[in-house]
Structures are given as C-alpha cells and as structure tokens.
Amino acid sequence: MKDFGGHSDEELIVLIQQDDSLAFEALYDRYWKKLYYQAARKTNSLEDAQEIVQNIFTSLWVRRHQLQIESNLASYLAVAVKYKVFKYLAQQYKQEAFKHDTEWVDFDNSTENWLQFEELRVRLDQLVSELPEKCQLVFKLSREEGLSYKQIAESMNISVKTVETQLSRALKKIRAGIQRFLITL
C-alpha cells in the first residue's frame, strides 16, 4: 500500500481524478473525523452526521472526473458539510412541521368538543328552567352569582336550611337530567 501522507491535497485530487482509490482512501482518512465532528455538532445526531459525511465522500468519488476545486480542499469540504447539514436541518424542519400539521388534522377535535359543550350548556339551561321557581332562584344565586348559603337565605328571607334543601333538590334533578343527556350522546 502506498503512503500518501506526504502528498498535498492537490496531488491527491489529481490522483483521484486518475481513478486512484488508495489516494481517495488517504484523503478520506485525512478529513473524515474533522467533517464528522463538524456535522455531529450541528445535527446533534451521530448517525445523521455519519450519513452526511459519507454522502459527501461518495459524491466526491462519483464526480472525481469533473472535480474542479478552486479553493483549498479543507475549505471546500467544510462548505460541503455546511451545505449538507443545512439541507438536513431544513428537511428535519419540514418533517416536523408536516408531522405537527397531520397530528393537528388527525387529532384536533376542538370544534367537536366546543359543539358538545354548547349542546350540554343548552341542556343545562333547559334543566334549570324546568326547576320550580324557588329552586331555580336558589340554584342561580349559588352557582351563577356565587353567593353563600347565608347570603342567599338573607336575600330571599328564608332559612339557611331551606336554601340547602332547595339547592340539594335542584342539583339532584339537574344531575339526573344531565346523566340522561350524556347517555344519549
């Protein structure tokens, strides 16, 4: 096996253009680790970094006869890694965006939930309106106005015990009506 350690990058490129696979291996060994490290830092994925670097070297070998590197090889390869990493990250972003969009389409049922909530709210209003007048008033003062039993008793001029009884009846009827409604959903 030839030793290409003393050859410059330019000399190795000339040999590679002449189909010298050993010169290609020398070039590969010279730059692989550096490019791999650079790609791994940007992608946060060792496997993807390895694939990116492998693709760069594969492309280099496939295009060896048309290869014309104007700058030095190290800069050329560094730019190639940057470009491939950029392309990789753009692809990852698109995949994540697509995944997020399809998850939203597949699993977002907020409109359905809102409609069910509205239907339930209408049913609750209907059940409250069917309560006897005193029960209805106690329920609204307690649940909608947020008054305490004592405040309701004072405002209606009734005992706290009567407020408890009326509210208990109201809640019992509403629960039964809601359960029947939920079963039919």
pLDDT digits (tens, 9 = 90+) for 82-108: 988 888 888 888 877 766 555 554 455
Query: What integer best gives the mean pLDDT of the chain?
Result: 85
* Size of the chain, expressed as the number of residues it contains: 185
Does residue 25 register a pLDDT over 70? yes
Listed in sequence order, the residues at least 6 apart from 161 whose beta carbon sits closer than 8 Å to its beta carbon are: none
Provide the 3-class DSSP secondary structure of residue 19: coil
Q: What percent of the chain has pLDDT over 90?
A: 30
2 vs 135, residue with greater confidence: 135
| pTM as predicted | 0.51
**Helix extents (H) in 18-159:** 21-43, 46-62, 73-107, 110-129, 133-139, 149-156
Question: Could you tell me the two tokens for 151?
Answer: 């405040």
pLDDT in tens, 38-85: 999 988 889 999 999 999 999 999 999 888 887 788 888 988 899 888
Question: 131, 141 in Cβ contact below 8 A?
Answer: no
* Cα separation, 56 vs 83, whole angstroms: 10
